Structure 1
Amino acid sequence: MSNGYTELNNYRFERKFVAPNMSRLATEMVIKQNQAFFNPVYQPRRINNIYFDTPGLDCFFDNLFGNGNRWKCRLRWYGEVFGKIEMPVLEFKIKKGLVGTKRSFRMPAFNFDKHQFTFRDIEQLFEEAALPHDIRERVAKVQPVLLNSYNRSYFVSMNKRYRITVDDKLEYYNLRRGWNHFGRPFTEDFKTVVELKYDQEWNKEVDMITNQFPFRLDKNSKFLSGMSHFRSEIAV
């Protein structure tokens, strides 16, 4: 796939850090001053995701309770949140212990209308997509539960072994089967999320990078943050 999209065919570490009340500019300055010599790569852009879950919210509870073997399903695209979505990608993120990978599938373009969105729009999108049989069976068992959107910038170390993404301006929208309200998103305006990504073979050297971070190591799942806000009625 093109357009700066990262495909995976192996398992990697994804370590997340939170920089509360720290601006993007200040966060990026810390990253650039790291001895691994991180430099910007790609253009910063807006990332949008529709997350899916089972009727029993299996993915939500697996994340909430830290199940070592878990998965998440999302539809991702770049740019504007609403309107004609030209290059969406369906992702299954798979976590096994401390490492993870993903399976990715190009999806047809679709129109995401903030005034008329229904679950049937997603069902039709899945019907039109050229998906493998096992993936088609899996998506038949899930439904949209959350929309989120955020700004992301990208950095890579001088030796190309480590990648960092910086996310801010986080917005979340609730998705329900019977109604969808996009007028009042839940926002995390003063939170910046830093994610360090690298292959398993480079784990022994990662401390030289993270020891220079003033950020707080945090599991920080955007999926869990949004779901916990909108599904506060769930008894845990």
Structure 2
Amino acid sequence: MQGYTELNTYRYERKFVAHPLNRFATEAVVKQNSAFFVPAYSARYINNIYFDTPGLDCYFDNLFGNGERWKARLRWYGDKFGEISSPVLEFKIKKGLVGTKKSYPIPSFVFTQSVFNTGELSKLFDKAGLPDDIREKLVGLQPVLLNRYLRSYYTTLNKKFRITIDDQLEYFNMKPSWNHIQHSFKESNKVVVELKYDMDNNSHAGEISNQFPFRLDKNSKFVSGMSHFRNEIAQ
């Protein structure tokens, strides 16, 4: 899949909220950085179905910033509904300030807005030829959240630093069984910037981030969406 980054090592992902700047102003700031960031790919929509345990272990670990945590999601690009091509199952793993991910290609499937039986996801994973340990992990998980946003990609010429810019953030609640995916929660004015780089390049990252007028933030889209739909347990 063009532009998809597979990780075999741990890396830093520094997150910033660009308030009160919009996407265009944020991109202008990135282009003015002395590290000389250039577009890496065309902007595109990203869609994710997040999974969690019945006790929401992943949500609480991320909410409270536990040093070792993980989250699972099914990701695809382009249209939110319809024929979903080239989806990828991801397990994002965080240890302290660095993280990595394990990625597994999943067969195409049809995702409908009116009625979607999440049991179809289990059948989909059965067809994917996943490793035994991943299949065992999925047995204890259920879909809890759908989100979507528009992402732009930038990179330095030496490819050592990447920046992504996300806006048009939208969230939909998901239930373990049948879903009518209609009402969404939107963070219309939020722009999230992520600076990504390998551990070996950490000593130079400050030269880049110190030029940003953005607020460093541990912003998690997963936590934002989950906290909105489950505000009775987020407080």
Structure 1 residues not aligned, in runs of 5+: none
> 1:163, CA displacement in angstroms?
0.1
2:25 corresponds in structure 1 to: 26
2:207 corresponds in structure 1 to: 208
Letter in 2 for 1:172: Y
Letter in 2 for 1:144: P
Letter in 1 for 2:218: K
Letter in 2 for 1:210: S
> 1:177, CA displacement in angstroms?
2.5
- Output aligned runs, 1:56-71, within 5 Å: 56-71=55-70
Letter in 1 for 2:220: S
Structure 2 residues not aligned, in runs of 5+: none
- Residue aligned with 1:206, SS: helix
Distance 2:20 2:53 in 1: 34
CA contact (8 A) 2:62 2:223 kept: yes
CA contact (8 A) 1:148 1:173 kept: yes
Letter in 2 for 1:141: G
- Residue aligned with 1:20, SS: coil
CA contact (8 A) 1:52 1:144 kept: yes
- Residue aligned with 1:73, SS: strand
* Normalised TM-score (structure 2): 0.98
> 1:179, CA displacement in angstroms?
4.5
CA contact (8 A) 1:146 1:226 kept: yes
Give the alignment's Cα RMSD to 1 decimal: 1.0
CA contact (8 A) 1:174 1:181 kept: no
Letter in 1 for 2:3: G
Q: How many residues align?
A: 235
CA contact (8 A) 1:53 1:144 kept: yes
> 1:43, CA displacement in angstroms?
1.0
> 1:129, CA displacement in angstroms?
1.3
- Output aligned runs, 1:186-205, within 5 Å: 186-205=185-204
> 1:115, CA displacement in angstroms?
1.0
> 1:128, CA displacement in angstroms?
1.4
- How big is each residue's C-alpha offset from its partner over 1:129-178, in whole Å with a ceiling of 9 and x where there is no partner? 11000000001110000000000000001222100000000000000125
* Normalised TM-score (structure 1): 0.97
